[in-house]
Structure 1
Amino acid sequence: MNHWDCSPFTVTPAASLLSRCVASGVVSQEEIDSAFSEPGSAFSPHLHEAKEQIRMHKQLDELQLQLDLLKVDMHSSDVAHAFHLTRRSEGLQRLGAHLLAVLKEQKSLTQRLMAPLARTDLPVPAHLHRSVVVSFRMMMDFMERLEEKLRSVRNQEDCSNSLALLDVSTAQLLALAAETDVLSNRMLQWRTAGSCEEPPSPQSAD
């Protein structure tokens, strides 16, 4: 009778599954008996090999992690080593000296950068001299006309501003004229009233 049976009269699902595996040839009855007699071991050599492979992969992962940590430690120790620090300090000193030299020669460098890179005079063939002269005259005429146009535009703006000022001045002048007219009328009224109120002279009384 199978060891996985709980009683002579009942068959558990595990026992049924194992019996099917034995019937299909996946495992043998001896492997099942050995697994039952030695708890903790695998049912078949294939499972045992898979278990060993998993264990070896874990060990390889641990070794790879340790190797990565050692590489990181090695790189950090190289950076902090006196040899590398000396090389870096020397490079920084050379860079500082170069910058100081550039600052000392700033004026000459500025003049060199401002100087034109090409020649100032361009060679012109002889048969094109007349065309160059004509083009130069046309360019001068264009510049003169452009200046005249710009001057006229500016004059128009000045004229518009002057007209606006003239309108304002005219309005102020009209207001002053109206006030002057009112004041003159008042003065005439005062004079008229004063002449009417004067007492008669003694000769006119006789």
Structure 2
Amino acid sequence: MAAANPWDPAPEPNAAGLLLGHFVASGMVTEEILSISKKTDPCFVNFSRLQQITNIQAEISQKNLEIELLKLEKDTADIVHPLYLAQKCHTLQSMNNHLEAVLKEKRSLRQRLLKPMCQENLPLEAVYHRYMVHLLELAVTFIEKLETHLETIRNIPHLDANLKKMSKALAKMDILVTETEELAENILKWREQQKEVSSCIPKILAEENHLHGKHDIVMPSSPLFSKLHIQTNVR
């Protein structure tokens, strides 16, 4: 049976409690000293914490070891697991049986390969001829578009970049369309101005001719010029 702790309150005071009470009453010991003495020494607390840390580290190491074992088992499952080994054995057995059958029929296979391929078409009933024609059309169409389909599949990783380039090209095209519309409007305005100028030119020329006709002055003939003209005629 464990001994009673003298520091714990008891329903009946024992000898140690009576003695401590007498010391407190006489002033030899204070309650603060008694409360301090009840506290555990820090060194023992550190020892207990160190023991807990050691236990936790050991548990972590054990868990890490178990995880490594599970990873190793997972990586080597296709080698050592009975299920995978049975599947591999079955595959090898099938390949072995196939090779044995080929070796048994080696002579007939050699003769068949040496024989020319002629008049060995598969018989097809007349009811299925139209379906065969349709199938051949689909096959021809597929072969014609095969390269296009393959090119499309190759361009799938670059689809985002191509879309960005297309967006930039469309933006540039919109700018060019706007500039072209402005240029067309300017050309139409220039044509209208040229038409107005062309229609005004005859009026301006007519007005200038009219003004020149009013300002023209007829000069009288001088006597000297008349005499010279007469002498020239006589000669």
Is the structural similarity TM-score above 0.5? Answer: no
TM-score by length of 1: 0.30
TM-score by length of 2: 0.27
